[in-house]
Amino acid sequence: MVREVTHLDSDHQILNKLMDEYGNDVWNYAYFLTGNRDQADDISQEVFIKVYQGLHTFRGDASRKTWLFTITRNTAFSYRRSRFFKQGLLGGRVSSLDYPVEGSSAAKYSTSTSPSAETEVLEQQYADAIWDIIMELPDKFREVLVLSLKYDMKIKEIAELLNVSEGTVKSRLSRAKLKAQKELRRLEE
What's the pLDDT score for residue 83?
56
The more confidently predicted of residues 30 and 128 is 30
Give, in order, the Cα–Cα distances in Å from 91 to each of 53, 88, 155: 33, 9, 30
Indicate the domain borders of the chain: 1-92
Percent of the chain with pLDDT over 90: 35
Pair 19, 48: CB distance under 8 Å: yes
Overall pTM surpassing 0.75 (yes/no): no
Tell me the CB-side half-sphere exposure of residue 52, using CA atoms within 13 A. 16
Least confident of 74-88, 97-111, 151-165: 97-111
- 1-92 folds as Rna Polymerase Sigma Factor; Chain: A (1.10.1740)
pLDDT band at 169; cut points 50, 70, 90 = very high
